[in-house]
Amino acid sequence: MMRRSNTRRGGIRLAAVMICATAGAAADAQQERLSRPYFTEIRDRIPSYNLYGLPGLVDMPTAEMAPDATLGVTVSNFGNTTRGTLSFQVLPRVIGTFRYARLQDSNIPGNRDGDYFDRSFDLRVMLLDETTFLPALSVGLRDFVGTGLYAGEYVVATKEIVPGVRVTGGLGWGRLGTNNPIATVGTRPNTVNGALDPSVIGTGGEANFDTYFRGDAAPFGGVSWDIDDNWRLKVEYSSDDYTIEETRTTSFERNSSFNFGVDYTFDNGTQLSLYSLYGSEFGAQLSFPLNLKTAQISGGNDPAPLPVAPRPAAQINMLGWAESPELRASISEQLAEALIDQGIRLEGLSMTARTATARIDNLRYPVRSQAIGRTARTMTRILPSSISDFTIVLTQDGLPLSAVDIARGDLERFEFEAAQEMYPRVRFTDAVGRTPPVFDDVYPRFGWSLRPYLRYSAFDPDDPLRTEYGVRANGDVVLAPGLEMQGTLAYPLGGNIAGAADDTSTRLPSVRTSFPLFADTDGLRIDDLTLAYYARPAEDFYGRMTVGYLERMYAGVSAELLWKPVDSRLALGAEVNYVRLRDYDGGFGIQENATPEQLRASDAVGDGTFPELNGHVSAYYDLGYGFHTQLDVGRYLAGDYGATLTVAREFENGWRVGAFATQTDVSADEFGEGSFDKGITITIPFAVLGGRATQRTRTDTIRPITRDGGARVSVPGRLYGRVREAHDPEIAKSWGRFWR
């Protein structure tokens, strides 16, 4: 122990020398900062992320926020604690966080071989902006939906007193109220001497409203100094006494309330932080902030858009071409060839002496506005001068989605103006009754790909990250407009997902927790194989019927009806599914929805089986500011009834971050660990990799724990995602790309 203590004192001295040396070397840089305005770019700069993955000092929070739409990923380690955090600046004043932590050498109930793994969510709201005389003021909840290991609440203020120097002071409850408390507010349940009792750390998932801002309250504070654009020094006084780490682990001691840190920010925004903590430990952290709103999407290898071709006045009234079938056919061929070079397929074209309607399928561009603009400009170069009005019908695999009316004269007048000058002159209508016939040679259409794949399963306490990797072949054929067959073959080469245990903490049928049984195969398997038919039964209505092997676990039939006017932010839908379990080997076999391997009949709800029929009614609404909401109400795979609320923020460049929560008639005890289904989704546009524009994306779901309650079947090609991208409210958001 004496040797360990000497090491700690030596570490503190080294940290002090490092901070003093850095401060002395940066004195000249600070003089330049003193000449700047006090509040220049305060809200636009990337903050320092603390060890909990939020804007803060070292371990303590500040009142600061990241720039709006910043996605922050941090990985840190100190002592026996490792934390990985994902934070998102949901709104300029609201930031949310998901955290996964590992405590080594622990005897906390629920540990696995001495390691305890914890999942937690945080939320912080800024109440007041910083002004010339007043500090920024924020309130935060830490681990408010989790096990309670890190649970705490705080009110904190931060003020820049001179350029680059910010002072923070706050009052904390829960863990943040355990070191030298100065007041007590009521009684906080599940605590011993003001600190969380480790023996009552729960399975998590439920908000503990009766504990918020209750119990002992303690002060914390600190100072940060931005020496220049790269270096930052921090010192803080911590109000967390780390009782759990000291009493329930064998490798942590808290000898001081003061922490010290230094950040270095690289030119790309990545931050490296080094810390001296609690008089006994050294720590390090890497932070990767990315602003999704301003993230650039490369398309440098795409061909330049064609310029608008003004019509010679003498040719505007030349109509002879309209009576020549040969000329009309030649015009269609020329337009089709010109558009395919732009990544757009011409599926049909109808023309009169003064109007032209082009039916197109956008094959390349992530946003429809860019495809509309390129199609319109190409039409000005190919179509006869007498045609003054264009209609562009947007389709998806032959399904008409919307019709866009554009006056040719407006294209000629506003080509060199901002795209927003064109938007009020464009009209969006439903495509029903306005769609030209499909060319004979468009369908059937084939497509395929062969790529490596990586599937992962996170947060298994026995192995926090399980993976499966291999080769995957995708194929699709559009047999006729709206009739599509698609399938995926996978050949796994390795991984350990199959080694995950079928969790027994849930009393529901194993509709999802038995997935490892479906991964335990070495040969070629069918991940999905479906035949789908899409139709327009009436104006504003869309229909889908899908049959086949819908996903890795289930086969069956799925039917969906969607009501979505082309100019409306609101959509309503209904889906019904009849499903059966597939055989584990990934072949063509079908089994009953109850097997000895999957069901724990003595504990299962009802008779130990789960129903074949499930479905939902859904409401979708575009809130504006990039926010979309979806509410699904109905019956889930395990036979439970309830609702799922999804809120997502989307950006013009294709990034998307969302969160969802499902509550059903299943109790927390029946659901098992996690109490109810919830998670975060992140969609990454492949265009960030550079090169040509592409519509390909990857969506990952971060679900703290997979359970059987609130589970839905995965059906490819659901309607809302296909339809809304071609409608007015969505196109308006990206209209700035009309001329690109």
Please check whether residues 153 and 34 belong to one and the same domain: yes
Residue 433 lies in a domain: yes
Given a contact cutoff of 8 angstroms between Cβ atoms, the answer to whether 522 and 492 are in contact is yes
Residue 735 lies in a domain: no
Please check whether residues 370 and 265 belong to one and the same domain: no
Residue 300 lies in a domain: no
Please check whether residues 666 and 572 belong to one and the same domain: yes
Percent of the chain scoring above 70 in pLDDT: 86
Find where tokens 């089994």 sit. Answer: 591
3-state SS, residue 7: helix
Measured CA to CA, the distance from residue 675 to residue 659 in angstroms comes to 17
Given a contact cutoff of 8 angstroms between Cβ atoms, the answer to whether 615 and 574 are in contact is yes
530: Cβ contacts below 8 Å, ≥ 6 apart: 485, 486, 487, 546, 547, 548, 549, 550, 716, 717
Residue 7 has pLDDT above 50, yes or no: no
Specify the range with the lowest mean pLDDT, choosing from 327-331, 366-370, 594-598, 609-613: 594-598
DSSP string for residues in 494-555: EESGGGS----S--S--SSTTHHHHH---S-EEEEEEEEEEE--STTEEEEEEEEE-SSSEE
Query: What one-letter code names the amino acid at 339?
Result: L
* 90-to-71, 121, 156, 397, 644 alpha-carbon distances in Å: 9, 14, 19, 34, 20
Give the end of a domain, one of 423, 442, 461: 442
Q: Which helix (H) or strand (E) holds 29?
A: helix 27-34
Please check whether residues 119 and 195 belong to one and the same domain: yes
Please check whether residues 100 and 142 belong to one and the same domain: yes
Query: What one-letter code names the amino acid at 344?
Result: I
Residue 10 has pLDDT above 80, yes or no: no
Total number of domains in the chain:
3
Strands (E), 197-305: 215-226, 231-237, 258-265, 271-277, 281-291
Please check whether residues 511 and 651 belong to one and the same domain: yes
Residue 98 lies in a domain: yes
Residue 264 lies in a domain: yes
Give the end of a domain, one of 257, 291, 325: 291
User: Phi first, then psi: what are they for 347, rounded to 5°?
Assistant: -95, -20
Please check whether residues 37 and 25 belong to one and the same domain: yes
User: Judging by beta carbons within 10 Å of its beta carbon (0-12, 13-18, 19+), is residue 485 exposed, middle or buried?
Assistant: middle
Question: How would you write 612-635 as a 3-class SS string?
Answer: CEEEEEEEEEEEECCEEEEEEEEE
Domain encompassing residue 209? 2-291
Residue 90 has pLDDT above 90, yes or no: yes
pLDDT in tens, 526-575: 999 999 999 999 999 999 999 999 999 999 999 999 999 999 999 999 99
pLDDT in tens, 657-674: 999 999 999 887 777 666
Give the end of a domain, one of 291, 326, 353: 291
243: Cβ contacts below 8 Å, ≥ 6 apart: 178, 195, 196
Residue 253, both tokens? 């001691």
Please check whether residues 232 and 334 belong to one and the same domain: no
Residue 694 lies in a domain: yes
Residue 30, both tokens? 């600070």
Indicate which CATH number applies to the domain containing 139: 2.40.160.40
More confident residue, 36 or 527: 527
Residue 577, both tokens? 């599914």
Find where tokens 């500011």 sit. Answer: 625
Q: Which helix (H) or strand (E) holds 700?
A: strand 697-702
Question: For residue 348, how many other CB atoms are within 10 A of its CB?
Answer: 20
Largest CA distance in the chain: 101
Residue 10 lies in a domain: yes
Indicate which CATH number applies to the domain containing 525: 2.40.160
Find where tokens 């902030």 sit. Answer: 289
Model-level pTM? 0.87
Residue 601 has pLDDT above 50, yes or no: no
Measured CA to CA, the distance from residue 459 to residue 119 in angstroms comes to 8
